[in-house]
A and B are shown apart, each in its own frame.
Chain A
Amino acid sequence: MDKYQTFEYDVVIIGAGGAGLRAAIEASAQGAKTALVCKSLLGKAHTVMAEGGVAAALANVDSRDNWQVHFRDTIKGGKFLNQWRMAQIHAQEAPQRVRELEQWGAVFDRTRDGRMLQRNFGGHTYPRLAHVGDRTGLEMIRTLQDQGVHQGIDVHMECTIRSILKDGEQVAGCFGYQRESGRFVIFRAKAVVLATGGIGRCWEVSSNSWEYTADGHAMAMWAGADLIDMEFVQFHPTGMVWPPSVKGTLITEGVRGEGGVLLNSEGKRFMFDNVPEMFQGEFADTEDESNRWVNAVVSGDIPDARRPPELLTRDVVARAIRKEVRAGRGSPHGGVFLDIASRRSAEKIKKKLPSMYHQFKELADVDITTDPMEVGPTCHYMMGGVRVDPETQQSTVSGLFAAGEVGGGMHGSNRLGGNSLSDLLVFGKRAGQFAAKHAQETATLGDINDDEIQRQANELLKPFDESGNENPYAVHEDLRSMMQNLVGIVRTDEDLRAALGQLDELRARAAQVRVGGNIQFNPGWHLALDLKNMLDISESVTRAALERTESRGAHTREDHPGSNDKWGKVNCIVRQRGSNIEVERELLPQMPDELKKLLQE
């Protein structure tokens, strides 16, 4: 199609966060002609906001750590719903991937004997997160960016991909527009890697940036790929709650890793009363014991006490905070208190949590070295995503790969902090490697159907039609508040059914969206188009949540409290059939006995 700018590559990677960059580095190292396409400027992707650290069983701080323990923690954190093979590969390969970053120039914080320092985090048995203060993501993305820059990767910045193109059953490329000029662009490719991140912009209180509009999830589904575990959306327990400007902005779990405690309005550490049965006996029973743990960790010793209950998994902590607030024991602005000031010296807080200090000082007029923070849950991470082969990251569509947050299965029903940065390195590398291999084994580029391109182009320009009367920002805001209210942390059959009804209404409004101005860098137009992804993926989440009549990990059903063994063996698979979005149940792959044994230890 001569009408539109067209590029030809072996491998096109969509998204330039950690997963996309790592995939691009690998694909290009394998000799594939590689393009990296991203919606923002290079280096601004969501990975840059990751704070606490990257989980890898390096055993630098506690020599008892190994991949087996990391595997066990990950599966327990995911409440046994993880794809076991992904969790195994992840735990085994994460140390190698992190060491590799050091070889590429990353500078992590150090232990006293000069090795990479590792910090404690929720759900990890041992201090496991290599980190750089509270800006680990920035360090990782810059390291990958600088490593990639001399590898001959073509970077297409500020370019939004809207669809995956297929030739028969095989991926033939993708189609989108340049944000700056508004012009359409076709990428022909033998393999496409989705590394588009998450879907957090579907919720009102969110730690996610404008980019997290479910692009990759939706494009995969539209292209016929299976999605898995879509009911599991992680609400991080600690987002800012005040002032409104920063509601939802993330506060790293590292605050609790460094000894921070959660208090209700009565000054009580309520997490002691919220240890679930499966973690009984693994956490400190008393403040005294948990203080001993903190003191040991602070002085770099191996603790003889059990860890504080503030370091339970995120799903547990988020629910406990919600419970306190509902019971009227919340902070003035509807959160609870997170206190590090009384636990660590001002100097240490500024050293280990510099951006938290800065963020509260500048944006909330709170000095965290003297006063507690007010915190509450914020939509943070999507466990569900494109169903992939654990070894290759290929989706159920030939030539379409996925890595990082857009991929599903690795984290089961709840992700442990730190496992996302390691996930994107381990599976980003694999996706790049196997996408390159797929391209090498594919003789020619697939054909592009001109009529189909023209149809899609017309569809994309529809918001400029004079007929509509809806404001895209208003529709988006209503979607976010609906999802927050009806498909949030705690769900019911009634709410979820109501959500489906409201999604229909919102879809009808989205079809009437009108934007002014022209196609050049027009955020209103961009948002108008993104509504489609967000509506379809919101429906996927809602339908999967309706299907799973139990509570597990991040999915809590008020009308079905408690987990159920039968559901513990089942994943929900979401597919598009015609114009319907359907959910089917599938049995989890059988875990080999030697891995099962690890879980019992």
Chain B
Amino acid sequence: MVEQAMLQIYRGDNESGMMVDYTVPVAPGMVVLDAVHTVQATQAPDLAVRWNCKAGKCGSCGGEVNGKPRLMCMDRMDNYPNGKPITIRPMKSFPVLKDLVCDVSWNYEVNKKIPSIKIRDTGNEDPRFSQDEADRVQEFRKCIECFLCQNVCHVLREHDKKEEFGGPRFFVRVAGLEMHPLDEGNRLDLLKNELGLGYCNITKCCTEVCPEKIAVTDNAIIPLKERVVDEFYDPVKKLFRVLLSK
């Protein structure tokens, strides 16, 4: 007999909804997204879920499986105990549009606050930098914008500071610009005032959840915090600012 998996999937919108039970046959190597698709194809054609690449490259299918934020396409069914229902919910920190689909448009609005990169003019010469320099920013540029880090960040999840705070995704993005070997821009004011970097108190939830294994806190947020501190709270610089503003 084919093994069966029990699923409990959130059906509904932001105002109301319920967990609905489904049972699906399990195939070897199956991931949670496959199970959701099986439900869609055989039992609930109007079940809403986002997905694209099904290989952990596009970051579309984030959700909360048994309470843990996961990319459903990379979440193997055999990671979960047999015979117990698997619960699948949409990400908690964003309004639910329908079923497993959230309104993540806020993230796109935050992105607009970040100005384009300013590349150093190298004239007619091709720009040159080493692979080591590339490695440093390539880590940040790996981000697939699944927004799971935004989803777990307590500044957003518990305190809903979407007005004042940009969230880990965008600190990663700014780090990618700040540490770009050809960059000439200055984003410290943006970080401090527009993106509210100070709200982050380094609990590392974002790092733990990142499916791309980006060291969000250690490699992006902490160095950015240091830069902001150097810029705004260095006593010598502060003195200069006071003198110059007179």
Q: Is A562 an interface residue (CB 8 A)?
A: no
Instruction: Return the chain B residue nearest A60 by Cβ.
Output: B126
How long is the Cα–Cα vector from A242 to B27 in the complex, in angstroms?
A: 11
Q: Are B54 and A473 in contact (CB under 8 A)?
A: no
Near B by CB (< 8 A), chain A positions 538-591 give none
- Interface status of A243 (Cβ within 8 A of chain B): yes
In the complex the two chains form, is A44's CB within 8 Å of B59's CB?
Answer: yes
A383 to chain B, nearest CB (A): 22
Distance in angstroms between the alpha carbons of A40 and B104 in the assembled complex:
12
Q: Is the CB of B30 within 8 A of A105?
A: no
| Residue on B nearest A145 in the bound complex, by CB | B111
Q: Across the interface, which residues of A come within 8 angstroms of B19, CB to CB?
A: none
Are A49's CB and B28's CB within 8 A? Answer: no
CA distance A364 to B99 in the complex (A): 29
CB of A450 closer than 8 Å to a CB of B:
no
Let me know if B46 and A211 touch, CB within 8 A.
Answer: no
Tell which of A224-232, A269-277, A487-495, A513-521 binds the partner.
A513-521
Segment touching A, from B115-123, B149-157, B187-195, B227-235? B115-123
Query: Out of A102, A149, A517, which one reaches B46, CB within 8 Å?
Result: A517
**Contact string, B67-106, partner A, CB cutoff 8 A, digits 1/0?**
0000000101000000000000000000001110100110
Are B50 and A41 in contact (CB-based, < 8 A)?
A: yes
Interface residues of B in 21-77 (CB under 8 A from A): 27-31, 34, 40-42, 45-60, 74, 76
**A135–B53 Cα gap in the complex (Å)?**
13
B161 at the interface (CB under 8 A from A): no
Q: How many A-B residue pairs have CB under 8 A?
A: 175
A43 in the interface, Cβ–Cβ < 8 Å? Answer: yes
> Which residues of chain A are within 8 angstroms of B143 by Cβ–Cβ distance?
142
- Does residue A93 face the partner (Cβ distance < 8 Å to B)? no
Tell me which residues from 116 to 134 in chain B have a Cβ below 8 Å from any Cβ of chain A. Answer: 116-117, 119, 126-131, 133-134
Contact at A110–B130, with CB atoms within 8 Å? Answer: yes
A362 in contact with B76 (CB, 8 Å): yes
Q: Are A180 and B97 in contact (CB under 8 A)?
A: yes
Measured between alpha carbons, how far is A515 from B101 in the docked complex, in Å?
19
Q: Which of A107, A116, A146, A522 contacts B116 (CB 8 A)?
A: A146
Q: Tell me the nearest residue of chain A to B111, going by C-beta.
A: A149
Q: Is the CB of B31 within 8 A of A363?
A: yes
Q: Tell whether, in the assembled complex, residue A48 and residue B52 are in contact, meaning their CB atoms are under 8 Å apart.
A: yes
**A573: min CB distance to chain B, Å:** 32
B57 touches A40 (CB 8 A): no
Given contacts A102-B127, A107-B138, A521-B48, contact A362 B56 (CB under 8 A): yes
Q: How far is the CB of B206 from chain A (nearest CB, A)?
A: 19
Chain B residues near A210 (CB-CB < 8 A): 51-52
Instruction: Say which residue of B56, B137, B180 sits within 8 Å of A358 (CB atoms).
Output: B56
| A contact residues around B49 at 8 Å (CB) | 523
CB distance from B233 to the nearest CB of A (A): 29
Chain B contact residues (Cβ within 8 angstroms of A): what range? 35 or more
Q: Which A residues touch B119, using CB under 8 A? A: 102-105
B141 close to chain A: CB less than 8 A: yes
Q: Does A596 contact B (CB under 8 A)?
A: no
Is A381 an interface residue when CB atoms closer than 8 A count as contact? no
Given contacts A105-B177, A115-B126, contact A363 B52 (CB under 8 A): no
Question: Are the C-beta atoms of B138 and A245 separated by less than 8 Å?
Answer: no
The answer to whether residues A113 and B108 also contact, given A105-B119, A209-B52, A516-B45 and a CB cut-off of 8 A, is no
Contact A150 B115 (CB under 8 A): yes
Contact B28 A107 (CB under 8 A): no
B241 touches A (CB below 8 Å): no
**Residue with the highest number of chain B CB atoms closer than 10 Å, among A60, A209, A362, A523:** A523
Taking the complex as formed, is A71 at the interface, i.e. its CB lies under 8 A from any CB of chain B? Answer: no
> B144 at the A/B interface (Cβ < 8 Å)?
yes
A197-217: CB near B (< 8 Å → 1, else 0) gives: 000000000000111000000
* Smallest Cβ-Cβ distance to A111: which chain B residue: B131
Query: How many chain A residues touch B (Cβ–Cβ < 8 Å)?
Result: 70
* Chain B residues positioned under 8 Å from A14 (CB to CB): none
Whether A355 pairs with B56 at a CB distance below 8 angstroms is: yes
Q: Is B145 an interface residue (CB 8 A)?
A: yes
- Tell whether A246 pairs with B55 under 8 Å between CB atoms, given A105-B180, A362-B76: yes
**B176-212 CB contacts (< 8 Å) to partner A:** 177, 180, 183
Among A218-250, those with CB < 8 Å from B are: 242-246, 249-250
Asked if A114 is an interface residue, CB under 8 A from chain B, the answer is yes
Is B52's CB under 8 angstroms from A524's CB? Answer: no
Q: Is the CB of A209 within 8 A of B54?
A: yes
Contact B52 A44 (CB under 8 A): yes
B112 at the binding interface (Cβ < 8 Å)? yes
A195 CB to closest chain B CB (Å) equals: 16
How far is the CB of A332 from the nearest CB of chain B, in Å? 12
Q: List the A side residues contacting B45 at CB < 8 Å.
A: 471-473, 515-517, 522-525, 527
User: Inside 8 A of B237's CB, which chain A residues have their CB?
Assistant: none
In the assembled complex, B142 has its CB within 8 A of some CB on chain A:
yes
Instruction: Let me know if A138 and B142 touch, CB within 8 A.
Output: yes
Given A105-B177, A471-B45, A48-B131 contact (CB < 8 Å): no
Cross-chain contact B108 with A42 (CB below 8 angstroms): yes
Annotate A119-139 by CB proximity to B: 1 below 8 A, 0 otherwise: 000000000000011010011
Which chain A residue lies CB-closest to B108? A42
| Bound complex: CA A198 to CA B60 (Å) | 20
Chain A residues lying within 8 Å of B76, measured Cβ to Cβ, are 362-363
Collect the chain A residues with CB atoms within 8 Å of residue B116's CB.
104-105, 146-147, 149-150
Partner of A245 from the list B27, B97, B104, B126 (CB cut-off 8 Å) is: B27
How far in angstroms is the closest Cβ of chain B from A435?
A: 23
Q: Which A residues are in CB contact (< 8 Å) with B29?
A: 242-246, 363-365
User: Which residues does chain B contribute within 8 Å of A105, judged by CB atoms?
Assistant: 116-117, 119, 177, 180, 183
Render A333-362 as a binary contact track against B, CB cut-off 8 A, 1 for contact. 000000000000000000000010011001
A521 to B31, CA, bound (A): 23
Chain B residues contacting A157 (CB-CB under 8 Å) are 105, 108
B40's partner among A117, A149, A477, A523 (CB-CB below 8 A) is A523
Nearest Cβ distance between residue A15 and chain B, in whole angstroms? 13
For the complex, what is the distance from the CA of A398 to the CA of B141, rounded to whole Å? 40
A109 within 8 A of B: yes
B54 touches A521 (CB 8 A): no
Residue pair B126, A107 in contact (C-beta under 8 Å): no
Chain B nearest CB from A155 CB (Å) reads: 8
Contact of B57 among A135, A211, A473 (CB under 8 A): A135
Choose from A44, A135, A146, A523 the contact partner of B60 (Cβ within 8 Å). A44
Which residue of A is nearest B57, CB measured?
A: A49
A99 located at the interface, meaning its Cβ lies under 8 Å from any Cβ of chain B in the complex: yes
**What residues of chain A lie closer than 8 Å to B58, measured between beta carbons?**
43-44, 48-49, 209
9 A-B contact pairs sorted by A residue (CB < 8 Å): A102-B126, A149-B112, A180-B97, A209-B54, A245-B30, A472-B45, A474-B41, A520-B98, A521-B97
Those 10 A-B pairs whose CB atoms lie nearest each other, nearest first? A243-B29, A524-B45, A517-B46, A114-B128, A473-B41, A105-B117, A521-B48, A521-B98, A209-B52, A522-B46
Other A-B pairs beyond A48-B52, A149-B116, A523-B45, 20, CB < 8 Å:
A40-B52, A41-B104, A49-B55, A49-B58, A104-B117, A105-B183, A109-B131, A109-B134, A110-B131, A142-B141, A142-B143, A157-B108, A209-B54, A243-B28, A245-B31, A365-B29, A516-B46, A518-B46, A522-B45, A525-B45
